[in-house]
Amino acid sequence: MKRIDVCLLLEGTYPYVRGGVSSWVHQLISGLSHLNFYLVFIGGSRSFYQQQHYTLPDNVVGMETHYLMDKDGLLAPRARRGKKSAFSLWQNVISRFKNPEQTLDGEHLQGLLANLGKKHGLSYDDFLYSERSWDVIVDLYFQHAQNQSFVDYFWTFRNIYSPLFTLVKVAENLPPARLFHSISTGYAGFLGALAKQKQQVPYLLTEHGIYTKERKIDLTQASWIKDRHSALDTSIHKKMEQTRQTWIDFFEQLGRTAYDQADSIVALYEGNRQRQIKDGAPADKTGVIVNGISMERFSEAYAKRPQQAPKVAGLIGRVVPIKDIKTFIRAIRVALNSEPELQGWIIGPTEEDPSYVRECELLVNSLGLQDNVLFLGMQNVAEILPKLGVCMLTSISEAQPLVLLEAMAAGIPCVASEVGSCREILEGMNEHDQQLGRCGYVTNIADPNQASEALLALLEDDQRWRQMGDNGYRRVQAYYQEHTMYERYQALYEEHLTWQE
């Protein structure tokens, strides 16, 4: 096999799942075509990832896939004692998972690599069936959960720690690479930490969302975890259900270990960088590399931009609750009072959540907006942008929405809710950037009045409209170009690759 420059560690995304992160990975690989990439995909269960959605670029020299929840080739349960030394290390490691403030250090990771899944260390069968493993579970249970259902605790324990065995095995068998790069913390980040310890080469971490935070949100809502509070337990300070807490602690430790081992930690925008630092990332390793777009794609759109603002507000995005389409519809309703000609276009696929689409349609009807609000479905963004007056984004959660950058590249001003990096994009991320001027307005989440006010402010003043459009164009040009992103990553890779030579 060809020399591997960068081994990408991908959890549940590229090339099996479509979405922002996946297109970013594809963009990165294609953009740095002189480097050889090797892909390691980690998924939950094989059945969830059937189809590959991307054609791998030529500079991908190999790929492997691993599924953490698929268990095969297990021996039948048989009583066994277990190795003492392996289990004392294990107990030490587990206690840190219970106490995520104490990060696993290189020595622990080396210990895991040397012992987990090894016949003379801590084999997977020993983990499942041995007496020492039982003693570890019982100890932990009495320390942390002695009033909780034991059978739940037991299975949580098994399910949580089983993937570590797979990860260690994966790390052991990775082909030699000059650098590892994981696109999230979590299992992929932990694998990165193990791989760094195994091969003693640099490890980089880029986070799009904040994995640990997203997991926490999932877990607090997860309905598969049964809450077994005693009916007689009337204390006000009910602790969070132990199972959820155990999972959260686990992901926190995975994240911290990844942060601790990473040589550089990249966030998409300043807000996430602060969050990473709060979650335990050493500040001096962190940095921001914003996503970029190709301005050429929108040059035609920019050229076609009319002199006067078209009375059209466009929302480009999937029709799903997280985009809060309803606030957009309400904002159009309010704005119609002063701008009767106004059109509101919803541009994006409607297949994902049909019931939400139906709710939105009902809202349109009940507000009498049938003539003013249109569902256009999927469209070529570059073609439709010149027809828009304002690009609106009412999402309740975003990281760094590319759609704003695209609108700005076409010279269209934007109105976006204050989520993710929207304020940085529209108003500038640093002093120099801010001097370029704002290219739209930031509004509160779920506030149709404020959104309509911002919308009208742009549509009613053509001069301001063009000015803000130009501001945006210049900002994309200065900070958010694809090649800038490539250069930044190129520099980052080189910084870590050159010292090896």
Partner 1 sequence: MAGIGFELRRILKKNTLLSYLEAYGLAAVVGSGPWVLSILALMIIGMISIGRVFPNILIIQYLVLVTYMMAGSLILSGMFQLLLTRFISDRLFEGKDHKVTPNLLGCMLIVSALGTAIGIAVLANTSLDAAVKMALLCGFVVLCNLWLIIVFLSGMKQYYRIVATLAIGYTLMVLASWLLPPYGILGLLMIFAACQGLITFVLLFFILRNYSAGSLIAFQFLNRKQAFYSLALCGLLYNLGVWVDKFVFWLHPEVSFAVIDMFRASYIYDLPIFIAYLAIIPGMAVFMLHMETDFAASNERFYQTVREGGTLESVYLLKDQMVLHCKDSLYQIFKVQGITLALLLLWSEEILTLLKIDLAYLHLLYVDLVGVSLQVILMAILNVMFYLDKRYQATALVTVMTLANLMLTELSIQLGPEVYGYGFALAMLISTVLGLVMLNRQFNRLEYETFMLQR
Phi-psi region of 292 (alpha: psi -120 to 50; beta: other; left: phi over 0): beta
Question: How far apart are the C-alpha atoms of 29 and 188, rounded to whole Å?
Answer: 18
User: Which residue, 260, 293, 287, is CA-closest to 105?
Assistant: 260
Residue 138 CB, nearest approach to partner 1 (Å): 7
Q: Which segments within 44-188 are labelled E, that is strand?
A: 60-67, 180-182
DSSP E strands: which ranges in 317-438? 343-347, 373-377, 390-393, 414-417
- Contact criterion met (CB below 8 Å) for 285 and 263: yes
Q: Kindly tell me which of 152 and 462 has the beta carbon lying closer to partner 1.
A: 152
Nearest approach in angstroms of CB 94 to partner 1 is 16
Q: How far is the CB of 126 from partner 1 (least distance, A)?
A: 10
Beta bridge partners of 44: none
Residue 143 Cβ vs partner 1, minimum distance, rounded to whole Å: 12
Shortest Cβ 3–partner 1 spacing (Å)? 46
The rounded Cα 149 to chain-centroid distance in angstroms is 33
Q: Which is nearer to partner 1, 99 or 146 (CB)?
A: 146
- Which tokens hold the place of 239? 């602790």
Burial 29-58 (b: 16+ CB within 10 A, else e): bbbbeebbbbbbbbbeeeeebeeeebebee
Residue 1 or 76: which CB sits closer to partner 1?
Answer: 76
- Site of interaction with partner 1 (CB under 8 A): 76-79, 128-131, 133-134, 138, 141-142, 146-152, 154, 228
Cβ-based nearer residue to partner 1, 146 or 434: 146
As measured in angstroms, the least distance from the Cβ of 112 to partner 1 is: 21
Shortest Cβ 232–partner 1 spacing (Å): 14
Closer CB to partner 1, 143 or 173, in the complex:
143
The encoded tokens of residue 428 equal: 């500038």
β-bridge partners, 205: 182, 265
Considering beta carbons, is residue 123 or 395 the nearer one to partner 1?
123
Nearer to partner 1, 129 or 203 (CB): 129
In the complex, minimum distance from the CB of residue 116 to partner 1, in angstroms, rounded to a whole number: 18
- Toward partner 1, which CB reaches closer, 138 or 478? 138
CB proximity list for 420: less than 8 A, separation 6 or greater: 268, 269, 271, 272, 397, 398, 399, 400, 401
Token pair 């409209």 is found at 465
Handedness of CA 302, 467, 385, 207 (dihedral sign): positive
